[in-house]
Amino acid sequence: MNILILDDHPPIVEFVAIKLQELNNKLIILKANNVGEALGLLGQHEIDRVICDLQIISGKNLEIPRYCGSLQIPFMVYSSYVSYSLIKELNECNITCYVSKGSLTDHLIEGLNNLLQNSAYFCPTVLKERINFRGSDVTRPNLTKSEYKVVQAFASGMSTVEVANYLSLEIVTIRNHRARASDKNSCSFTELVARFKYWED
């Protein structure tokens, strides 16, 4: 069985690899530290299982879960990020297991074991998030390319004048992008920037 581990922290990759070998020493383990490398390995090898982090260098990695979901490759997310929004998106990718990095090693081992058997497993931290959800969903902002650039600039701490200068746009254009983006996402611009930072930082 070929297993791909994607994480940009080598000690975590090694730790997960050791735990997998303890469960089955005949596994072939491939390792990637970025999404491009992982996609390359998925294209070059017949991968039976995938374990991936969600926070890779910058932004939330949902490309690999979506890839696995489209090809029906069982996968486990092993990440510090646990939120109801992510759980919903990962469910749409047919996630097999989701284990928080803040969980006990026993939970990781249980997740790995279930992944190898293609059985569903959610660690207690993930289950708690699912149960305790009461409407605090942080949805991914819906933005055009132009709106994305504007929101990204504000999220970095720039003022309206600085954003206009940075993007070589008129201030009125910046304000229009802000207003349209807020209206489209049914929230204030402050909340929109917070949501943007949640997904992109």
Is the same domain home to 126 and 163?
no
Which residues 6+ apart lie within 8 Å of 82 measured at CB?
Answer: 98, 100, 125, 126, 129
Whichever domain contains 111, its CATH number is 3.40.50.2300
* In-domain check, residue 138: no
In a domain, residue 125? The reply is: yes
- pLDDT tens digits, 144-183: 999 999 999 988 888 889 999 999 999 999 999 999 998 9
Burial (Cβ within 10 Å: 0-12, 13-18, ≥19) of residue 15: middle
Same-domain pairing of 157 and 84: no
At 131 the pLDDT is 53
What's the whole-model pTM score?
Answer: 0.64
Residue 97 and residue 176 share a domain: no
pLDDT of residue 166: 94
Q: Are both 81 and 164 inside the same structural domain? A: no
Asked whether residue 137 is assigned to any structural domain, the reply reads no
The tally of domains found in the chain comes to: 2
The last residue of one of the domains, among 88, 104, 132, is 132
**114 and 176 both lie in a single domain:** no
Q: Say what angle helices 189-200 and 171-184 make with each other, to 10 degrees.
A: 80
Query: What per-residue confidence (pLDDT) applies to 164?
Result: 94
Which residue is it, tokens 């081992």?
109
Is residue 61 assigned to a domain? yes
The parent domain of residue 85 ranges over 2-132
Residue carrying the six token digits 């047919």: 94
Buried b (16+ CB within 10 A) or exposed e, 30-54: bbbbebeebeebbeeeebbbbbbbb
Last residue of a domain, one of 132, 153, 170: 132
Q: How would you classify residue 113: left for phi > 0, otherwise alpha for psi between -120 and 50, otherwise beta? A: alpha
CATH number of the domain within which 154 lies = 1.10.10
pLDDT at position 173 is 95
Residues of the chain where predicted confidence (pLDDT) is lower than 70: 56-60, 84, 129-138, 200-201
